[in-house]
Amino acid sequence: MNSHTSPGDLTGQRLNGRYDLVEKLGEGAMGQVYRAHDQTRDGRTVAVKLLSDPATVDWFRSEFETVSLMVHPGIAQVFDFGHSNREGLDFYTTEYVPGVPADGKVAAFQFATITDICVSILKALDYIHGQGYLHCDVKPGNVLLQSPQHGSPATTKILDFGLATAIPQSRLTARGTLAYMAPEWFKGGIPGPHSDLYSAGVMFYQMTWGSLPFDASSAQECIRFHNEGIFPWPDSGAIPEWWIQILKQMVSRDPADRFSNAREVLAAVARGAGRDLEVASEHGAQEGIIGGPWIGREKVLKRALAHVDLEDKTGSSNSPVLVLEGAPGTGKSRLLQELKRRLQLRGTPVAVVDPQRGEPLAELSTLLSLFFDQAEPRRAQERGSHIVSRLVNRTWEFSQLGGLVLLLDNLHSWDDLGRSFVQELINRLDYDRQHGDESPQLALVLACTPASQGKEPLTLPGDSPTEQLTPLTPADTQR
């Protein structure tokens, strides 16, 4: 029996000094989900998933790590992972998806709309499987349907990767929702993409005819049907035979008789519907943006993680400043994103400041006010030098409370006041490193284009390393 206590309803509270929880969206055995406003992003609406049971934090961290690798228009995007000391809760944030479950109500739509919705789900599954994962819980509750906008087709977002796993080579303990689970989960078979496709096939059946093909009120009935039941195929005349044949193959009891991957299903739909579905290239690469398993820069990332490890500064010769330098398009921002993700999973306080999101010092001031849970003091017509000194002091003060890694992106685009802040912070870091009793609990990663592109270079500690990023070659990206 679990000994943890549920945190109760936190609606109306501010989590971690940053997220205003405005509505509870759901609650399960593992935690709660809220709609919230992120005060560091001008009140952007996000979903916050809270973990109720600290004993399952490794599972929770694994879920975040899996879904944060995936950036695709059909998957809810993940933002940040953290721990709120005040509430004692682990959490992560995702894109907020307003929508309704893709369930039997879809059957009221025109057939062309139904297939559009199914195609969007298949494209997302194609991407997930191409990244080497199974979702393992494809069902209406984990697929939200968003209403069409301005004449565009309806779209879907796949949520909840709590049961997801790397595609296995051997048997796994059964997982999923009984009404949608493939027979091999019950018979000790090896699950694969065909298992997710079976689940999708059951869901598509429900979306096409308005209900499940069996009574799902008992666990025994669900298992019996998947193992030996016969799907009824209504003959209404409104559903074309080619669609029925696709669904029959998706839900075949023998995995060998099913489609082996989502791309095959999409090709069959394209043939049946007589139209081009614009299927992405191998592994769904064109559908994704910057997601997927981290490839091509692992050595650089490993060195960066070691350099900013605040608990392993074994000597004063380790500069607290690291420079990532490369031409536009060489992946500096992507590297910072992955560095932030790995640091959050370690529990290291980390913040990214990027002028492309707004004026850097204003963004930093907002972050600090939330770190300290109090507004930054502002004075009318405050001199620039005073602003810089105040923010340096506040940054330093926060770092000494529990450590801080600042990832400063697109430094070549920072204005003079912002660069003055960076230089003064570097000077203080270097002085404290040389004359302080302990290593500073602050590290900086500076991402910029080569110094020859116009800005006067910053003065860095002499032992500050620079990682030169060059465009990746095809050989670099081989997994």
DSSP codes, 380-415: TT--HHHHHHHHHHHHHHHHHHH-EEEEE--GGG--
363/42 Cα distance (integer angstroms) = 10
Q: How far apart are the first and last CA of the chain?
A: 42
Q: Give the chain's largest Cα–Cα span.
A: 83
Give SS3 for 253: coil
pLDDT of residue 479: 47
Q: Specify the pTM.
A: 0.71
Tens-place pLDDT, residues 278-300 = 654 444 433 333 445 556 688 88
Which tokens go with 255?
Answer: 């995995």
417/364 Cα distance (integer angstroms) = 13
Whether 93 and 48 have beta carbons less than 8 Å apart is answered as yes
Tens-place pLDDT, residues 166-190 = 888 888 888 899 999 999 999 989 9
Query: Which strand (E) or helix (H) includes residue 266?
Result: helix 262-273
- Nearest alpha carbon to residue 49 among 95, 13, 4, 3: 95
Within 10 A of 424 (CB to CB), how many other CB atoms are there? 17
Q: What is the CA radius of gyration of the chain?
A: 25
pLDDT of residue 11: 92
203/228 Cα distance (integer angstroms) = 18
DSSP string, 32-75: EEEEEEEGGGTTEEEEEEEES-GGGHHHHHHHHHHHHT---TTB
For range 308-336, the mean pLDDT: 79
Q: What percent of the chain has pLDDT over 90?
A: 34
DSSP string, 98-122: --EE-SGGGGGS-HHHHHHHHHHHH
Q: What is the dihedral of CA 307, 350, 93, 84, to 10 degrees?
A: 120
Within 10 A of 478 (CB to CB), how many other CB atoms are there? 8
The residue assigned the tokens 């999101």 is 357
251/330 Cα distance (integer angstroms) = 44
pLDDT at 224 over 60: yes
pLDDT at 210 over 60: yes
Within 10 A of 377 (CB to CB), how many other CB atoms are there? 10
More confident residue, 22 or 2: 22
- DSSP H helices, 188-231, are 193-209, 219-228
Crossing angle (nearest 10°) for helices 384-402 and 416-435: 40
Whether 338 and 394 have beta carbons less than 8 Å apart is answered as no
34/93 Cα distance (integer angstroms) = 9
Bridge partners of 38? 19, 44
pLDDT at 33 over 50: yes
**DSSP-derived pairing of the beta strands 143-146 and 155-158:** antiparallel
The residue assigned the tokens 């006041």 is 417
Tens-place pLDDT, residues 239-277 = 999 999 999 999 999 999 999 999 999 999 999 988 877
The residue assigned the tokens 């039997």 is 104
Which tokens go with 364?
Answer: 């930093």
Indicate the range of 17-31, 136-150, 238-252, 310-324 predicted with least confidence: 310-324
DSSP string, 271-311: HHHTS-----SGGGTTT-SS-SS--S-HHHHHHHHHHT-TT
pLDDT of residue 294: 56
